[in-house]
Structure formats: structure tokens, C-alpha cells
């Protein structure tokens, strides 16, 4: 059974640029959520995708967008990067939205905006 894989592991971008982060969900999981974790803080919910449709969004501006593909892998896109976007971005997959078995997290992508 494969876990959740995120790529890249680290990334440095310049303010104003655009970035795409990728996530391969655990085999059999059809729901993917994305979280932003600032240094020393708890993760904050960005959005969730279930069967290729966004079905929940946190308090993040529209320049944060996502996609889920038929194989349930996912992308997080951030446009017009700001310095405050520097954080660890975590992807989590689950059997279905709100699975009682919890969520399987990836090891994240560390994004630094300079």
C-alpha cells in the first residue's frame, strides 16, 4: 500500500511568481485535502476535493486554486506569490470525505518565497 507522495519537497520562488505543488493520494483514496502550515503553527485548511470536485474551502483567497484528476492525484496552484505564502504545504488523502479512519498525510512541500 503506497502512502501519500508530494513533490517537490522544497521549492524557492520569487514574489509575484506562480507555483504548482503536486500530490499523489494513497491507493484507493478518492478525497484529497490541502493544508498550509506556517512555521511553528498548526496546519490551516485550504480546500478539499472529492471525485474531482471542490467540496470545501477555507479562508484563502482565489489565487489559491486546485485540481483533482481522475486518478485522484491533485495539484495546488498559487498565483501572484506573496512573502506570507512561505510555509509547509501538506496534502492529505482519505477513503472519502470525513472518513472515520482519518487521513493519510504526505511529508509536505516546503515553499519559500523571496
Partner 1 sequence: AQTVTQSQPEMSVQEAETVTLSCTYDTSESDYYLFWYKQPPSRQMILVIRQEAYKQQNATENRFSVNFQKAAKSFSLKISDSQLGDAAMYFCAYRRGKGGTSYGKLTFGQGTILTVHP
Phi-psi group of 101: left, alpha or beta (phi > 0 → left; psi -120 to 50 → alpha; rest → beta): alpha
Residues 63-102 that bind partner 1 (CB under 8 A): 88, 90, 92, 94, 97-100, 102
Q: Between 10 and 15, name the residue whose CB sits nearer to partner 1.
A: 10
Q: Which of 13, 20, 45, 60 binds partner 1 (CB under 8 A)?
A: 45
Spatial distance between the Cα atoms of 96 and 79, rounded to a whole number of angstroms? 28
β-bridge pairing 44-50 and 53-57: antiparallel
Q: Which residues bind partner 1 (CB under 8 A)?
A: 31, 33, 35, 40-45, 48, 50, 55-58, 88, 90, 92, 94, 97-100, 102-103, 105-108, 110
Amino acid at each position: 500500500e503506497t502512502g501519500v507522495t508530494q513533490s517537490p519537497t522544497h521549492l524557492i520562488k520569487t514574489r509575484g511568481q506562480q507555483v504548482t505543488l503536486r500530490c499523489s493520494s494513497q491507493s484507493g483514496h478518492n478525497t484529497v485535502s490541502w493544508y498550509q502550515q506556517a512555521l511553528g503553527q498548526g496546519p490551516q485548511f485550504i480546500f478539499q476535493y472529492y471525485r474531482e470536485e471542490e467540496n470545501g474551502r477555507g479562508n484563502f483567497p482565489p489565487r489559491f486554486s486546485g485540481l483533482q484528476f481522475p486518478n485522484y492525484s491533485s495539484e495546488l496552484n498559487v498565483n501572484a506569490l506573496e512573502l506570507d505564502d512561505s510555509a509547509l504545504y501538506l496534502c492529505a488523502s482519505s477513503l472519502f470525505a470525513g472518513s472515520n479512519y482519518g487521513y493519510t498525510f504526505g511529508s509536505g512541500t516546503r515553499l519559500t518565497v523571496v
